[in-house]
Structure formats: structure tokens, C-alpha cells
Amino acid sequence: QKEVEQNSGPLSVPEGAIASLNCTYSDRGSQSFFWYRQYSGKSPELIMFIYSNGDKEDGRFTAQLNKASQYVSLLIRDSQPSDSATYLCAVQGGKLIFGQGTELSVKP
């Protein structure tokens, strides 16, 4: 079992829809959770982080954390073509571990 698992996608959504990206992790002691966005040919960029159970909203982005079920998700509301990228989930327990990333494609 991978330590941090994401569906590789591609996930395709129409413009204006809600994109839902999911991530599960194996280390129950994990404390910090991050979402990075990586455009094709570019470096990862931190877009969200969450430490506590529940939802955290920042503009069109919402991170959701459920430690009991060991999953963290990222919702992107009103998806735009400019949101097309690979989204990396990263989980920190004793060390930071990245998932393989989910490719998101937003179609106009």
C-alpha cells in the first residue's frame, strides 16, 4: 500500500463545475496536509494546507480533512481552464510524503 495515494486521472470537468480531488494516507500519526499545484513543465506551488479536521476555504478552493478516515480532499469551485494542472497531495507525519498527483483538465 502506498503511503499517500491519489487517483492519477486525468480528471476532466467542464468549466464552471466543481472539481473534487482526493487523497488517502496510511500514517495515522500524520499531522499536516498540503496541496500543491503543478502546471505542465513547471515547479510545484503550495496552494492549500490544513491541520485540523473539517473544512478550510480559500477563495474557490476548499480543503477537507478527515483524520478518522485518513483522507484529505481538495474542492475547486467554478473550475476554470487555468486550473488545468496536476495536483499533488503531501502528508507530513515524521516526514513529508507526496502522492503521485492527479491531473485535472478543465474543458471550456
| Range list of β-strands (E), 1-108 | 4-6, 11-14, 19-25, 32-38, 45-50, 54-58, 61-66, 71-76, 85-92, 96-98, 102-107
Contacts with other proteins by CB under 8 A lie at 32, 34, 36, 42-46, 49, 88, 92, 95-96, 98-101
| Spacing of C-alpha 88 from chain mean position | 6
* Residue 35 vs 106, nearer CB to other proteins: 35
Q: How far is the CB of 100 from other proteins (least distance, A)?
A: 4
| Cβ closest to other proteins, residue 43 vs residue 69 | 43
In the bound complex, what is the minimum distance in angstroms from residue 16's beta carbon to other proteins? 30
Q: Which one, 25 or 34, has the nearer CB to other proteins?
A: 34
Least spacing, CB of residue 15 vs other proteins, in Å:
28
Other CB atoms within 10 Å distance of the CB of residue 42: 10
The single-letter code of the amino acid at 7 is: N
